[in-house]
Structure 1
């Protein structure tokens, strides 16, 4: 049997492998493009969390960055729903993200129910939100850790070795992208860049909340509308958010099934 026949007989399995390979290529191309030009860090990291959900066997992803005071703060998430943001916020004092940031090593819990004593507050909140397993990966460049990528599952179990490698590679490229914008050689410049990114995220959260309240929509739909508004006008998310928060300007809410992120 020749190669072509093998491909045909493989059917959906072959197509799935090709699709996964293409998604990986697109993900790394998108991230590495930021190394040669200016970019929107809020959108970059949001896209990273969405890529994680698409490429890995996880149901949600969130990203934490450290601020000037050394506290972990939510930077991006695959969903803007309150349950996810609460889980990210908790990890400044209790959770896998904090352990991962402090040690610079991956942290895994294949079953939060069985291992709830390790992070009691986080485990309880995660279970309430429907998550029972977690993996945290360090955002690291050389000997510096700037945050953690948290991957959540609704079923108990661990990621495969290949998936862990992919997740860590995505986190590494995103880390380099963030630090590269202000110069890796200067600690102060890198710290300033991280704080700028966190400030942009705060502004984006405010705008999303305002849109959700105005249009009586959920946070994901409000965030979608903000993304569409920014893209159609050639703005960064932080610029679009500033227009919403600091003016009387409003934007049309997209249909609930318009997931154009």
Structure 2
């Protein structure tokens, strides 16, 4: 499949959030995986805003040890926080010359091998829901065309999330994202169970959960709860697993 075809498929998948019963976790997971596949970025994470001073990452992306070490400081300072605060892309260049205000984030990122960091806001007009953090171990920064594509993906995601908010209920999106944070726990548990039982990698275990959810039209979190409570991808009354 060509890069252009992959880009088109990503926009089609993000558009699925405009229909009823889309899954927030699956949407955000697809966003990060697509960016990692299509952009010149080593690791990608979504960090979302919720009432409080820090961002948080709700996506069970099975981060590499390097990304896992960066997510906590990235929620408090750095390009993801600045992109969310300003509703504009942040691409400052090499981490070696990053702003002093990013000290904790920069130290963690450079210690784990990242050389460049950028972020784009997940926003639509006045609503900023968070940001998309893009990390690289390469010699150069993210190309401008990749940064623009990342922003387009982030905008499409925000459009879907905000479109799903019923009129007159301004806090619904915050509630959805808060629920997504808690959903991460059960998805991680189910993913770990399948990985151990079937000798799968974490990515393959997540793919099994996601593919089952899509095939049967069931929310990803519901599939994960079934695995955690029954040890099966399907309820005990169904055949197979």
Please say if residues 81 and 218 of structure 1, whose CA atoms lie closer than 8 Å, have aligned partners that are also in contact.
no
How large is the Cα RMSD of the aligned pairs?
Answer: 2.7
- State the shift of 1:37 in Å: 3.4
Which residues in structure 2 correspond to 1:92-107 (within 5 Å)?
92-107=75-90
After superposition, the Cα gap between the structure-2 partners of 1:89 and 1:30, relative to the gap in structure 1 and judged at 3 Å, is same
Match of 2:221 among 219, 232, 238: 238
- State the shift of 1:180 in Å: 1.7
Counterpart position of 1:180: 163
Cα distance in 1 for partners of 2:151, 2:107 equals 26
Counterpart position of 2:91: 108
User: Which digits, 9 at most, give the CA deviation of each residue in 1:212-238, with x for residues without a partner?
Assistant: 566676543443343344345543221
Counterpart position of 1:129: 112
Gaps of 5+ in 1: 1-17, 252-261
SS at match of 1:75: coil
Greater than 6 Å deviation, 4+ residue runs: none
TM-score, normalised by the number of residues in structure 2: 0.82
Cα distance in 2 for partners of 1:242, 1:101 equals 32
After superposition, the Cα gap between the structure-2 partners of 1:215 and 1:27, relative to the gap in structure 1 and judged at 3 Å, is closer
The higher relative CO (CA closer than 8 Å, separation ≥ 6) is in 2
Gaps of 5+ in 2: 234-241
Task: Tell me the number of residue pairs that the alignment of Structure 1 and Structure 2 aligns.
Answer: 233
Counterpart position of 2:231: 249
Cα distance in 1 for partners of 2:168, 2:48 equals 19
Q: Which of the two has higher C-alpha Rg?
A: 1
Q: Which moved more, 1:42-51 or 1:28-37?
A: 28-37
Cα distance in 2 for partners of 1:79, 1:123 equals 22
- State the shift of 1:151 in Å: 0.8
Which residues in structure 2 correspond to 1:73-92 (within 5 Å)?
73-76=56-59, 79-92=62-75
